Chain A
Amino acid sequence: MYNNDIIRIENLHVTTATQVILKDINLKIPRNRITVILGPSGCGKTTLLKCLNRLTDLHPQLQVSGKVWIDDEDIFQPNVDVIAVRKKMGLLSQRPYPLPMSIYQNVAYGLKMQGIADKHTIRERVQHYLEEVGLWKEVKDRLHSPASKLSIGQQQRLCLARGLAVQPEIILADEPTSALDPISSKKIEEKFLELKSDYTLVLVTHILRQAKRLADHVIFMYLGEVIEQGTPQEIFEHPQTTILREYLKSGH
């Protein structure tokens, strides 16, 4: 049966010994849409993204309970192939972390992971993905220099290219434009709108205008809870709660 919601979250709780980070989250994230998560700093947005590809496994102090269904597979079941789940998702973290390799190898590595061995194909695809994120022109003469020498904004775009090269179904983006200038941000935004036809995007942002430009579905979180969710119109034009109204008023 075709299911229109690629991700479903039921009763998700994340706690540490001293703190409740996520409280009873219930969400559905629609396929081939951009879902935007809003909320003040520290409300658990990054943690929510980390639950979606089980990066929470890396932090044993985080206790996770509840269910996360991706493509109708409950990913917190013990017998799940975590590697396969993670390959379905590309993560753009808040701060970019390129792999300790050259610019070229950063993208090529993802291609090789998929079993592409032909040098010629790899070279073409690397160029393709670097062009897609608008980085090709800037780096084409120094493809073999270390990725760490790029500026933060360039690294962010390189990480996006690397993520796309693995051909995921879902792209998780945690404030992907926070280190970018307006022009590069605009490029990334346009890219996201294009990607929508092939991917599902989940985007965390603090920029309300960006949310308005991109969102098909909006989730507003506060202190670890989902306060409101709905279409951009419902959220931005007709907020139901005072917290959201305050948030929208002080935003920009």
Chain B
Amino acid sequence: MKYIPHLLRSRKRKILEENIMKSIMAITTYSIILVFIYLILVISWKGIPALSWEMISEIPSGGFYFGKEGGILNAIIGSIYLSVGATFLSLLISIPIALYLNIHLLHHNRIKGGIRYLLDILWGIPSILYGAFGFILMIVFHLQASLLAGIITLALLITPIIIRAFDEALQGIPEGLLEASYAMGLTRNQIAFHIFVRQAMPGLITATLIGFGRAIGDAASVLFTTGYTDHIPTSLDDPTASLPLAIFFQLSSPIPEVRERAYAAAFILTLIILAISLLIRLCTSRLSKYQI
């Protein structure tokens, strides 16, 4: 092998380069995962001891915020109402818009590009601004801080996210499938709701989950619009408690017991997100198996 030392050397160098790149990618991947695991461990560590049946089955009693008995059932129910309502409302708006972009505006690249750009900007706006906007709307329409106002504000917040995420999935639909559908003599509506929605179902599910996660975790946009209450809302006009705000109020308490309960609330919030993600994925995996 004496006559090819330089080849051998360059081969070794390539292997070395490859290994360095591989290590960098591995390190970043695993460190991100570690951070998440650490986060979940901290929440569980501090949250589970403070967790009790009372906490998830009762509304706060008078002295709850000073460490007396009661629970955060009001915030749990409130958060579920808010985020499910907002996700549902937002889907009603987002699905037609994303389909319109990809079917009717397919060849209008300027308009399409403009709309996408706008949505991307809206995506980046901090949620406190949505909260402020929702607050202005409330004043204009003489609404009180209520479940409805919160649902509308959260829907505004997540609509650009859901549209763009679903839009990306729709853009991946092969041109040949579009041609085949048109060649069969399908109308645009049939193509939209029978072909595109099915084909892009996994994308729609992901979009829904991203939107839902953002809605249930957001504190700033419900701060002014839904208010906070110790009761479970019974109508859309009632003010509503939410988990992010419950966490915020409890964490800012000087009493250590109350602060521990904040972690319990965070733990519950995490569980809800996990449960709903799993549920949606299970329910819809059947629908997405026909993707071509």
A113 contacts the other chain (Cβ, under 8 Å)? yes
Residues of chain B with a CB closer than 8 A to A102's CB:
290
Asked whether B179 lies within 8 Å of A113 as measured between CB atoms, the reply is no
Contact status of A93 and B290, CB under 8 A, knowing A162-B184, A166-B184: no
Q: How far is the CA of A89 from the CA of B184 in the complex (A)?
A: 8
B255 contacts the other chain (Cβ, under 8 Å)? no
* Interface hit among B15-23, B66-74, B191-199, B222-230: B191-199
Question: How close is A94's CB to chain B, nearest CB, in angstroms?
Answer: 9
B292 contacts the other chain (Cβ, under 8 Å)? yes
Q: How far is the CA of A206 from the CA of B116 in the complex (A)?
A: 43
* B158-202 interface with A by 8 A CB criterion: 174-187, 190, 194-195, 198-199
The residue from B175, B185, B291 contacting A166, defined by CB atoms under 8 A apart = B185
B289 contacts the other chain (Cβ, under 8 Å)? yes
A193 contacts the other chain (Cβ, under 8 Å)? no
Residues of chain B with a CB closer than 8 A to A83's CB:
185-187
Interface size class of A (residues with CB under 8 A): 20 to 34
Question: How close is B176's CB to chain A, nearest CB, in angstroms?
Answer: 5
Question: How close is B197's CB to chain A, nearest CB, in angstroms?
Answer: 9
A30 contacts the other chain (Cβ, under 8 Å)? no
Asked whether B186 lies within 8 Å of A97 as measured between CB atoms, the reply is no
Instruction: Tally A-B pairs: CB < 8 A.
Output: 76
Q: How far is the CA of A141 from the CA of B182 in the complex (A)?
A: 30
Question: How close is A61's CB to chain B, nearest CB, in angstroms?
Answer: 9
Contact status of A58 and B291, CB under 8 A, knowing A97-B174, A100-B199, A109-B194: no
B107 contacts the other chain (Cβ, under 8 Å)? yes
Asked whether A148 lies within 8 Å of B290 as measured between CB atoms, the reply is yes
Q: In this complex, what residue of A is CB-closest to B174? A: A97
Residues of chain B with a CB closer than 8 A to A163's CB:
184
Asked whether A110 lies within 8 Å of B182 as measured between CB atoms, the reply is no
Interface size class of B (residues with CB under 8 A): 20 to 34
Q: How far is the CA of A113 from the CA of B187 in the complex (A)?
A: 10
Q: In this complex, what residue of B is CB-closest to A87? A: B185
If over half of B's interface residues share one DSSP class (helix, strand or loop), that class is named, otherwise mixed; here it is: helix
Contact status of A100 and B178, CB under 8 A, knowing A89-B183, A110-B184, A113-B184: no
A8 contacts the other chain (Cβ, under 8 Å)? no
Residues of chain B with a CB closer than 8 A to A58's CB:
106, 175, 178-179, 182
Asked whether A55 lies within 8 Å of B183 as measured between CB atoms, the reply is yes
Question: How close is A63's CB to chain B, nearest CB, in angstroms?
Answer: 14
Contact status of A53 and B291, CB under 8 A, knowing A60-B107, A97-B174, A97-B177: no
A153 contacts the other chain (Cβ, under 8 Å)? no
Q: How far is the CA of A84 from the CA of B185 in the complex (A)?
A: 7
As a 0/1 sequence over residues 56 to 85 of chain A, the CB contacts with chain B under 8 angstroms (1 = contact) are 011010000000000000000000000110
The residue from A55, A87, A89, A100 contacting B290, defined by CB atoms under 8 A apart = A100
Residues of chain B with a CB closer than 8 A to A99's CB:
177, 180-181, 194-195, 292
A95 contacts the other chain (Cβ, under 8 Å)? yes
A125 contacts the other chain (Cβ, under 8 Å)? no
Q: How far is the CA of A83 from the CA of B181 in the complex (A)?
A: 11
A147 contacts the other chain (Cβ, under 8 Å)? yes
Q: How far is the CA of A55 from the CA of B178 in the complex (A)?
A: 10
Q: How far is the CA of A148 from the CA of B177 in the complex (A)?
A: 12
Q: In this complex, what residue of A is CB-closest to B200? A: A100
Identify 18 new A-B residue pairs, CB closer than 8 A, beyond the known A102-B290, A113-B185: A58-B175, A58-B178, A58-B179, A60-B107, A83-B185, A91-B179, A91-B180, A91-B183, A93-B179, A99-B180, A99-B194, A99-B195, A100-B292, A113-B184, A146-B289, A148-B290, A148-B292, A163-B184
Interface residues of A (CB under 8 A from B): 53, 55, 57-58, 60, 83-84, 86-87, 89-91, 93, 95, 97-102, 109-110, 113, 146-148, 159, 162-163, 166
What are 29 A-B contacts with C-beta separation under 8 Å? A55-B182, A58-B178, A58-B179, A60-B107, A84-B185, A86-B183, A86-B185, A90-B183, A91-B179, A91-B180, A91-B183, A91-B184, A93-B176, A93-B180, A97-B177, A97-B180, A99-B177, A99-B180, A99-B181, A99-B194, A100-B199, A100-B292, A102-B290, A110-B184, A146-B289, A146-B290, A162-B184, A163-B184, A166-B184
For the complex of A and B, list the 5 residue pairs with the smallest distance between their C-beta atoms, beginning with the closest. A87-B185, A91-B183, A86-B185, A97-B180, A148-B292
